[in-house]
Structure 1
């Protein structure tokens, strides 16, 4: 598949739309006092961020989906599978929005319970899996390097739900520093767009998937205009859950689920740091890291917030290159 000129403009248009909409949207959030509560056990330097508007994830989701829908409709590439991924993105965004809203309403950093949030994520993932089963998507995944396909049979569907929930939570854990999640996700979306564009054996939703991914790249970059340090707005769970669902859903359409591991190395490392920290403390009473997720460990080690973010960008970009080489 080749990238047409109109499609190549998609990230620019979605980025500009996010930037233009950002000012009025942030003003709206401030007017209605949609400010973020900061967890008390977090780094002391973060307490000054209390009150920063949250739910900014809509500044990514809305422009990205709007441009992808309009571009797909005009070019005739708006496949039903891509529409299904968009629906999943909105479902996860709603779960995140509800969590953000409850945090603001309760005036503490506790929204939905862990069980409620996970239940919603599993339900949304299961509905997506049910759609794919109905549509005849198949149960094969691509093996890196070999280009071979491996058929998982019925096991594919529960694994798909696991991929959706684990990816969304990994992005959610990464969203802890100004610009960190948006920037690393822009890199990951760009890497996945290249993989989908060059995957051997075209699939019906290929063009529409690339357009959606490029729209997400642009929207993330536009959001960074306001989210880079010092952040004027946070994406909140609204954004982090939606972005995780977006990259997982697009990877599923391209049968590239296994490629998410190296491509999302930053998110994997953040998640593993939390798992290791909890496991170590419960079994030995000792902590491996000064604080988890991993980005807080580096903060407490003396790195400036911007330095942590920049280094994570570099790791994300390097792993995107490595992942591309695995295709």
Structure 2
């Protein structure tokens, strides 16, 4: 596998995103697809009301075009079912997020899809993903990172897939709350899986897809970094969450996702802890959850929170790569 091809992949995805954004963002603004800011959020966020959302569509377009072009151009024999499976999960969760965003901005229902509707959609996509893997005799074992230990889950692997795809899509979605926060942390996580797919687990198509996401996210950051000119919305966050879960499964690095996606795990745990604490004791552990809002409310600037979380994401990614490649 040629490293230059992977750099070309990132460059193509970056350029596509940067070039279509100046066209797409004004289009979203003309359609009045602006973000509604919830009253219970930090007061400083109210000035972001009306910022165009659904920018995740640009990411989906960029990643899809780049992945298909690079694989077809440089390694046509790698155009396997995995390529289309990754795109199916990303686009499927992206469309689910698009429905959620559309209901929020066009129908003026601030909460979008109900939690039950969203969950059913997520489970359906995950179930289709599992069925396709099952029909291709995909191995049902999981490995313990840094060891040679493996455990065959049998039919229990189906449950793991449902849990991973639904869980990762929701965890990544929770992280999307500040300008550039998710784009940066997700770029790091996808980059780590791209490195592992390139070096530790040679899978050309997965490395290409992962680094296409990185390139698209870096291009998106040009317009999403503080102060953001566009938000990715659930269109982008659900798509990214489903995609990274799919990559972890296809590379057989299911457990390592917990480490590489450590920021997403911490964000989710902060919400769970907050809810349990408030329901059982009436007290809140954090000033506000998810975790990034807590640091805002203790006085950190938005940019400080975002860059700190980016650094933490890099540390988690480096730890995951170290465990898998060198231990």
TM-score between both structures, scaled by the size of structure 1:
0.96
**Is residue 169 of structure 1 aligned with residue 166 of structure 2?**
no
Cα distance in structure 2, aligned partners of 1:21 and 1:147: 45
Deviation at 1:107, TM superposition (A): 2.2
Cα distance in structure 1, aligned partners of 2:83 and 2:190: 15
Determine the structure 1 residue equivalent to 2:121. 120
Cα distance in structure 2, aligned partners of 1:323 and 1:6: 24
CA contact (8 A) 1:37 1:108 kept: no
Cα distance in structure 1, aligned partners of 2:95 and 2:109: 20
Deviation at 1:54, TM superposition (A): 0.4
Determine the structure 1 residue equivalent to 2:136. 135
Determine the structure 2 residue equivalent to 1:12. 11
Deviation at 1:316, TM superposition (A): 0.3
Q: Deviations over 1:160-209 (max 9, x none)?
A: 11000000000000000000001000000001111222335x5xxx1101
Determine the structure 1 residue equivalent to 2:20. 21
Please list every run of 5 or more consecutive structure 1 residues that lacks an aligned counterpart in the other structure: none
Secondary structure in 2 aligned to 1:275? helix
Secondary structure in 2 aligned to 1:257? coil
> Which has the larger displacement, 57-66 or 139-148?
139-148
Determine the structure 2 residue equivalent to 1:250. 247
Determine the structure 2 residue equivalent to 1:229. 226
Deviation at 1:297, TM superposition (A): 0.1
Cα distance in structure 1, aligned partners of 2:43 and 2:3: 49
Summarize the alignment of residues 212-291 of structure 1 with structure 2, pairs less than 5 Å apart. 212-291=209-288
Secondary structure in 2 aligned to 1:326? helix
Determine the structure 2 residue equivalent to 1:297. 294
Cα distance in structure 2, aligned partners of 1:324 and 1:55: 32
Deviation at 1:106, TM superposition (A): 2.9
Deviation at 1:108, TM superposition (A): 4.1
Determine the structure 2 residue equivalent to 1:46. 45
Secondary structure in 1 aligned to 2:142? strand
Cα distance in structure 1, aligned partners of 2:287 and 2:37: 18
Please list every run of 5 or more consecutive structure 2 residues that lacks an aligned counterpart in the other structure: none
Secondary structure in 1 aligned to 2:255? helix
Cα distance in structure 2, aligned partners of 1:35 and 1:150: 47
Secondary structure in 1 aligned to 2:226? coil
Determine the structure 1 residue equivalent to 2:197. 196
**Is residue 63 of structure 1 aligned with residue 65 of structure 2?**
no
Cα distance in structure 1, aligned partners of 2:122 and 2:70: 28
Greater than 4 Å deviation, 4+ residue runs: none
Secondary structure in 2 aligned to 1:141? strand
Secondary structure in 1 aligned to 2:145? coil
Determine the structure 1 residue equivalent to 2:206. 209
Deviation at 1:110, TM superposition (A): 1.4
